[in-house]
Structure 1
């Protein structure tokens, strides 16, 4: 019995040991750790809050960025736009004038080529057919031994050779465009070299020598341009009018009419200038000259 009681007590004591072990396990309180984490979070949150305070959202700052008066900004932009528009119009006018000059020079070059070709053809025909002057001389020498000289002393054949070569040489000069071409190109070269006084004299000499030549209209036009440079507007108008009256089908007609409008406007005769410019637009529509006339009309209306 005693042994049995001991065994029972020992068994009970062994069963109670685990409960004792479990009761001695320490209880961990994480509240302090949470408190530290919260403090650290507050410390970390403070710089972020400061950064947010230092850098507010862009939506709140945008009105401050445009704090200038709206009227002042509109006025400045309008001035800039007006200045830019004036520059563009001036550039367009310069481009149109350059195009007109290119067209004129292209026409002049074509005319020179045609006349040069005609000159070479005439020269070639003379070389193949022997010169007309030589044939005339041969004909004259043939006419000398006529029996009329023996029978009658009234008809003297000696003046005949003197008159015939004179007429032949005169026709040869008029048929040969080389002199006209050389004289005109020499005068035009003076214009390109800006020797305006010499060019004026050369063009006037050319017109007096070759009033009906193929370059007469060009010479009259360039005389008008030269007098425009000298601001002698009445003489400029006189030469431009000569192109319109004497050479109405010339390529210089449109430019001459336009320059008459320019000269009248420069002389203060705006009403007459407007009439001439309107004639340019009417007579030469859809051309660069008409565009220049339109631009000039707008400037006169301002």
Structure 2
């Protein structure tokens, strides 16, 4: 009986120890769970905070991107405006340049109408007024068309209007030719003689003497014609007119 009671007592102690041990283990488990839950809560809080901060950063980034996009759009608009202004300025400069060119051309044209210009006639260069050049060329064109009466009138008027003209000797030569064609031989002789005597270096001087001799022949003045031909050969021995003069002189009675 005593042994049984001892066994019961030991069993009770064992049960009590086991119960305490189980209770101890439950507390450890609860503390572990609490620690874990606390860690989870902390982790969740940290994650939530990081997520909030990330959202704020994203929002700030979106605002920055939006601002940058607005700036880019503004720059594009400014560039388009500047491009338009540049095109307008370029057109304006082109218009001004065109206007200046037109003005310059207009001024040059007006100056050409009033200012003397260099011309070359019968191997000579000299300055002539535009009207002077135009009148001489018009008279010469009339002569070449065979309108000798109008040519005579035009060259006569020309020599009176421009007595110091560089065209003078040429004008007198062609005037004499018009008179010769009109059978006004005396007037032609006078003008041919003037060319040869007043301007002996003129390229037309030998021709003037030859034509003068022809007029004298028409006037039945063979003596004067012979002398004129002899003077021509003597003064211009190498000229083509001198060769013709030699032939005519041999046939002149």
TM-score, normalising length from structure 2? 0.49
Q: Which has the larger radius of gyration?
A: 2
